[in-house]
Amino acid sequence: MRILGIIPARYASTRFPAKALVDIGGKSMIQRVYEQSTKATQLDQVIVATDDERIFNHVQSFGGKAVMTSDHHQSGTDRCYEALTKTDQTYDYVINIQGDEPFISPDPIDHLAGVLTGETELATLVKVIDSDEILFNPNVPKAVLNKRNEVMYFSRQTIPYLRNAETESWLEKHVFYKHIGIYAYRSDVLAEITKLPVSSLEKAEALEQLRWLENGYAIRAVVTSDDSHGVDTPDDLDRVTKKFLS
């Protein structure tokens, strides 16, 4: 399987404009994401897909590969598909790597790549939840899996609901999964899902991946022990910088 890693990177982030170029210990965020991603052994190529020449030029300045994409995309998935169409090689799969995780480990990328056999349509990462703070946080999407490790549903609510059990004991009685937003798409499926209209479940939960489930696509889940450390705000940047660089 030939696998392309794509890092979508917008300039005009609502909560943290220009965060892709922010300095983190002497390197920009996008450079750190790129360098960590290229350590993954299962990726044949890594590129940054951006809508801004400043990011494009910066990536090239540190020796990375980048492509310019439209500034009208509604999601990283759409940006990934345009970037795929602009490559001069053929890839069986695309892995969408979040551009705001400067300290992402290459290991979960390789673990995700390990289930891309040709039969897999879509795949993503999940992690066992180990705290009530995460379990009941509506800003943290959760996933429910079937026996084949395919995702049955994603929700911002805590799912499943444990009837006749006190909420303080839920983690003792059931295994709950946090969704980690790194996606793998089979190339033909990526082309198809970018043409789908926004679905009712997607609108309800504001979760793009529900559009794929609602249209009948199977999403394979890979359980990882690595957590995500995304940077959405300047406060997040302070937190991850202290965690990894202090």
- The total number of structural domains in the chain stands at 1
N-to-C CA span, the chain:
39
Residue 243 lies inside a defined structural domain of this protein: no
Averaged over 105-130, what is the pLDDT?
97
* Mean pLDDT, the chain, whole residue set: 95
Residue 242 lies inside a defined structural domain of this protein: no
Residue 246 lies inside a defined structural domain of this protein: no
> Three-class SS string for 175-232?
CCEEEEEEEEEEHHHHHHHCCCCCCHHHHHHCCCHHHHHHCCCCEEEEECCCCCCCCC
CATH of the domain at 114: 3.90.550.10
**Tokens read off for 61:** 């300045």
Residue 244 lies inside a defined structural domain of this protein: no
Which residue range is the domain that position 186 belongs to? 3-236
Q: What is the pTM of this model?
A: 0.95
**Tokens read off for 135:** 């379990």
What are 47's strand-pairing partners?
Answer: 6
Residue 54 lies inside a defined structural domain of this protein: yes
pLDDT tens digit sequence for 55-65 = 999 999 999 99
* Residue 229 or 2, more confident: 2
Residue count of the chain, please give it: 246
Q: Are strands 45-50 and 66-68 parallel, antiparallel or unpaired?
A: parallel
pLDDT tens digit sequence for 53-92 = 999 999 999 999 999 999 889 899 999 999 999 998 999 9
Residue 42 lies inside a defined structural domain of this protein: yes
Report residue 27's pLDDT band, with 50, 70 and 90 as the boundaries.
very high
Sign of CA dihedral 106, 228, 13, 193: positive
Residue 17's pLDDT is what?
84
